[in-house]
Amino acid sequence: MEERRLMKESSILDVALTRLDDAARHLQIHGDVLERLKYPRETTKVRLMIRMDDGSRKSFLAWRCRYDDTRGPTKGGIRFHPASTAEEVETLAFWMTFKCAVMNLPYGGGKGAVQVDPRTLSKAELERLSRAYVQAFARIIGPDRDIPAPDVYTNAMIMGWMADEYASIVGQCVPAVITGKPIALGGSLGREDATARGGYYLVRHLARELGLQGRMRVAVQGFGNAGQFIASLLAEDGHDIVAVSDSRGALHCPYGLDLRALLRAKAAGLPVSALAGQGGAVAVAPEELVAVDCDLLVPAALENMIDEENARRIRARAVLELANGPVTPEADRILEQAGVQVLPDILANAGGVTVSYFEWVQNRQGFYWTVEEVHERLRAIVEREGLQVWAIAQERRVPLRTAAYIHALSRLASAIEAHGTQPFFTS
Ligand SMILES: NC(=O)C1=CN([C@@H]2O[C@H](COP(=O)(O)OP(=O)(O)OC[C@H]3O[C@@H](n4cnc5c(N)ncnc54)[C@H](O)[C@@H]3O)[C@@H](O)[C@H]2O)C=CC1
Ligand SMILES: O=C(O)CCC(=O)C(=O)O
């Protein structure tokens, strides 16, 4: 699977840009706007050098991309993954630009990564690497400039170390420089499950339009932060989680898996396949997950996992993209012909960055909200923007992805034009 990602990566940004072209065809957009959005404004590459526990030194490639800041400071997570590349980071930053615009958050798009498998590091090595990242990028990030957050294989603990390192460098506490922090360091209640919760509110609100009423059978690809929380939220509403996968395997039970046992196994560091044989669950090959009989398929792992080779095997009525870029454009066409609705990543997984925005607002106000307030504000934004995207799709007879890009692009175009002839970029 990793090899498959690497092989396709050479064109990942070009492929992402075809979504922009699709949307531009539906709007009267000035060429200057497209020229501005076609290229990342700034990508910084560094080599981080850290001391390993055995006394040796090891170096890791790392990047931070600020794709566009027309609508506000750039915002986006930091990924720790062995297959990360500069182009992947730029593509993820492009998606962040459109995601923040879809949700009408006052941000542009950014993203960062370290090319590392964090599972091979001790906790002390991981902390040194996280602090080294901030030492390298302290001049680029900032609460009014570029605000990182968690992504794949990074979490609240890592964000806490990073916020702490930034405070040491600038000589004062600046919690709004990074979001997804531990609650004890100014994190927001409700950030941990926000990515999944945004997708959950979206599906719940559009259930009738999507033909997803009643008890659903759900398959979840990727069982980390986004995957575990969406499974829990849907199971709490009485839906059946019939299949899940992680980087090491997949598990299937047509009558519903024992979710509590799965969550316990993951917390203990076991793969989902460790539960094979219990309660009717059988281990299946990870590539079989997308083909299981279900109503809702939730890709919550990595990009390009649903392509022209496996899209035809999907039996779900709808796909909720919690991962960034899990469905290729070829797969999109196949799914559209088959009548499968795809709730696109820039809308479906935007709950994470929306609650990150709430965290930033709370840090700046020094006044903190209850979890109920966080949920209510998130629900209101997801439903508002979700309905607008749905309406654009109906009006223009386009897939939901194109509708989401049209919605975002019209906001981005207004901001770019409002800046005048010398579009501003904080450098
Ligand atoms: N954490 C966040 O706030 C947000 C995350 N996302 C996206 O959601 C996706 C998942 O991110 P997180 O849950 O945060 O990461 P995570 O690191 O918590 O979990 C990733 C999961 O994917 C699994 N995985 C990796 N390779 C796989 C493969 N080949 N097949 C099946 N599973 C595989 C891992 O085993 C792990 O369970 C990513 O695309 C990320 O960019 C999007 C918006 C916000
Ligand atoms: O919470 C954030 O600021 C960004 C999350 C992220 O990286 C994403 O939505 O892909």
One digit per residue, the tens of pLDDT, for the chain of length 427 reads 444 444 444 479 999 999 999 999 999 888 889 999 999 999 999 999 999 999 999 999 999 999 999 999 999 999 999 999 999 999 999 999 999 999 999 999 999 999 999 999 999 999 999 999 999 999 999 999 999 999 999 999 999 999 999 999 999 999 999 999 999 999 999 999 999 999 999 999 999 999 998 999 999 999 999 999 999 999 999 999 999 999 999 999 999 999 999 999 999 999 999 999 999 999 999 999 999 999 999 999 999 999 999 999 999 999 999 999 999 999 999 999 999 999 999 999 999 999 999 999 999 999 999 999 999 999 999 999 999 999 999 999 999 999 999 999 999 999 998 988 665 566 6
Q: List Cβ neighbours of 32 (8 Å cut-off, separation of 6 or more).
A: 416
Distance of CA 277 to CAs 69, 106, 252, Å?
A: 51, 49, 10
Asked if 250 contacts 289 with a C-beta cutoff of 8 angstroms, the reply is: yes
Domain range annotation of the chain: 37-185, 194-348
Distance, in Å, from the CA atom of 107 to the CA atom of 99, rounded to the nearest integer, reads 9
**Over the range 285-312, which residues count as b (16 or more CB within 10 Å of their CB) and which as e?**
ebbbbbbbebbbbbbbbbbbbbbeebbe
Question: What phi, psi does 400 have (nearest 5°)?
Answer: -60, -30
Asked if 321 contacts 299 with a C-beta cutoff of 8 angstroms, the reply is: yes
Ligand 1 pocket, 304 CB below 6 A? no
99 among annotated binding-site residues? yes
58 among annotated binding-site residues? no
Its CATH class, for the domain covering 37-185, is alpha beta
Asked if 228 contacts 351 with a C-beta cutoff of 8 angstroms, the reply is: no
Q: Ligand 2 site: residues with CB under 6 angstroms?
A: 75-77, 96, 99, 149, 151, 179-180, 324, 349, 352-353, 356
CA of 101 to the centre of ligand 2 (A): 13
Ligand 1 pocket, 324 CB below 6 A? yes
Q: List Cβ neighbours of 363 (8 Å cut-off, separation of 6 or more).
A: 143, 175, 176, 186
Ligand 1 pocket, 221 CB below 6 A? yes
Q: List Cβ neighbours of 39 (8 Å cut-off, separation of 6 or more).
A: none
Q: Was domain 194-348 assigned CATH 3.40.50.300?
A: no
Ligand minimally distant from the alpha carbon of residue 108: 2
> Which residues participate in catalysis according to the annotation?
111
CA of 227 to the centre of ligand 2 (A): 15
pLDDT in the model for residue 2: 44
Predicted model pTM: 0.96
195 among annotated binding-site residues? yes
CA of 364 to the centre of ligand 1 (A): 29
